[in-house]
Amino acid sequence: MRELHLVGRRPPLAAMFLCACALTAAALDGALIAKTGLPAVSLLLGGCAAALFILWRSAAFVLGIISVNAFINAFSRSAAVSVGSVALNPSELLGLVIIALGALALLGRPLPMAALRPILVPLVVGNVLLAAASVAAGRLGTDNIATWVRSLGFLVLLLLAAASFTEERQVRWAVALFSWASLIPIGAGLYQAVSGTGSSELVRGDISRVYGTWNHPNPYSFYLLMVFSLALVTLLDARAWRDRLLGGAWCALVLGCLFLTYTRITWLGLIPVVLVISALRKNPWILLGLALVAALVLVLVPTAYKRLAEVQAVRWQAPGLGGNSIEWRLAAWRQSAKALEGGLLLGHGANAASELLGFDAHNDYLAALIDGGVLGLATQLWLQAALIGASLRAWRRLRAPLYRRVALALLAVQVAFALMSLTDNLIGYFQLYAYHWIFVGLLCALPTIEQAAEVGG
């Protein structure tokens, strides 16, 4: 009744926004039903918008994204909607919904600018530089614009989360939904392992890689690394035996699925995650436990060693390049020097690295240098430093155990992703970084929430 009473008091502008949200959700649902004949698929897209206009809370919209994001990629292969000459899958449509509805939801909402400013400045500067480089280089094709739109989506998610979370219960909901929603992709990964329906991308023909509800084992493993970081700090804070058992089971399930992705860079990414958490918690047993688990897996599971040995085998050849995983990366990076010609300062625009090289750079810093030049790379490094610094400061200054868990888990993931980006492509996955930017925005809101709770208490 309280919610109905509040809605009734909204001004006409809010009522118009409510109708716009409803019409947008209905249009997306109708388009997908007409295209696929599967109303259930359309509900995945309408879910976030429905939460926004039914509950009339922007926080509900963000919570909806957290939930839907865990499994929407499962429909990317089977459903797509044509918009002119462009075919958009549900995951890409969700990104457009986030930008459109999220930007509208931000109107008139106060932002915790003191916490946001160190992160917001390099993020905005990076978006402006990327757009300017794209226009200057004439890279205004569909893929180029999509890359810039993805960056804009991250900005909207950051601001929306920072503005929407204003109470402790909303923070608890966000953490709980992220945790429980992870069981869907975890369950899908375990089913693929048991049924032998993993990825068609086989390694030496006998190692099937699971991909959960994602479209490839790599982003699935990156997502699981985020889940593991939160699961580990939650387990370490558990006091009751029941909570410890549940936390231990959660960690074990995540680690099991992460191993079954056979993504080597994410296996290595566990090391900085555990190092950061172990160092700040002053608990060396965490690192020793990971070392023991790794040793047992290598001894007892032959496919683990075989996958690591794959580094030395000729696996894939980029145009004009060959060799094993390390050799062709080094050759590709040397070859990329040609792509820097004529664009060293400002770069060649969004998605230029893939277009000029003919393959993904497998180094996010190199891609940033080609796309945005020296200025673009400097801005990306500035942003990463700001993110890591903000997480560390939050962990040190916040007092609530839940808030400190969020800050520490996010800090560990950001350090790991920064290192993993040296040899892989991480930034290009919108669904993966949607989680990241939601929790960065939440992190920026936490000091204000804690101070308000202390004043109210």
pLDDT tens digits, 286-295: 999 999 999 9
Q: Which residues pair with 167 in a beta bridge?
A: none
User: Is the alpha carbon torsion for 162, 168, 172, 175 positive or negative?
Assistant: positive
End-to-end CA distance of the chain: 26
Alpha-carbon span 107 to 263, nearest angstrom: 41
The DSSP string of 165-210 is: --SHHHHHHHHHHHHHHTHHHHHHHHHHHHHT---S-EETTTEEPP
pLDDT tens digits, 149-178: 888 889 999 999 999 999 999 999 999 999
* C-beta separation of 29 from 22 below 8 A: no
Is pLDDT at 126 greater than 80 in this prediction? yes
The neighbour count for residue 12, using CB atoms within 10 Å, is: 7
Residue 452, SS3 per DSSP? helix
Alpha-carbon span 104 to 58, nearest angstrom: 10
Is pLDDT at 200 greater than 60 in this prediction? no
Is pLDDT at 274 greater than 80 in this prediction? yes
Residue 87, SS3 per DSSP? strand
Largest CA distance in the chain: 67
Our measurement of the distance from residue 221's CA atom to the centroid of its chain's CA atoms, rounded to an integer in Å, reads 11
Mean pLDDT of 263-290: 94
Q: Which residues contact 98 (CB under 8 A, 6 or more apart)?
A: 48, 65, 153, 156, 157, 434
* C-beta separation of 7 from 56 below 8 A: yes
Higher pLDDT, residue 350 or 390: 390
Alpha-carbon span 437 to 119, nearest angstrom: 11
Q: Which residues pair with 86 in a beta bridge?
A: 83
User: Is the alpha carbon torsion for 440, 446, 447, 449 positive or negative?
Assistant: positive
User: Is the alpha carbon torsion for 32, 37, 42, 44 positive or negative?
Assistant: negative
Average model confidence (pLDDT) across the chain = 82
pLDDT tens digits, 36-81: 555 544 555 555 555 555 445 778 778 878 888 888 777 766 566 6
Quick one: DSSP state of residue 453? H
Entry pTM: 0.86
Backbone angles phi, psi at 71, to 5 degrees: -135, 5
Comparing CA positions, the residue from 137, 43, 149, 36 lying closest to residue 102 is: 149
* C-beta separation of 417 from 135 below 8 A: no
The neighbour count for residue 171, using CB atoms within 10 Å, is: 21
**Side chain identity at 342, as an amino acid letter?**
G
The DSSP string of 338-364 is: GGGTT-TTT-S-TTHHHHHHSS--S-H
Is pLDDT at 398 greater than 90 in this prediction? yes
The band of 262, judged by pLDDT with boundaries at 50, 70 and 90, is very high
User: Is the alpha carbon torsion for 261, 266, 271, 277 positive or negative?
Assistant: negative
Residue 333, SS3 per DSSP? helix
Provide the residue count of the chain.
457
Q: Which residues contact 101 (CB under 8 A, 6 or more apart)?
A: 21, 24, 48, 49, 52, 61
The band of 332, judged by pLDDT with boundaries at 50, 70 and 90, is confident
Mean pLDDT of 406-410: 98
The percent helix, strand, coil of the chain (3-state, each to 5) is 75, 5, 20
Identify the helix (H) or strand (E) that includes residue 260.
helix 241-260
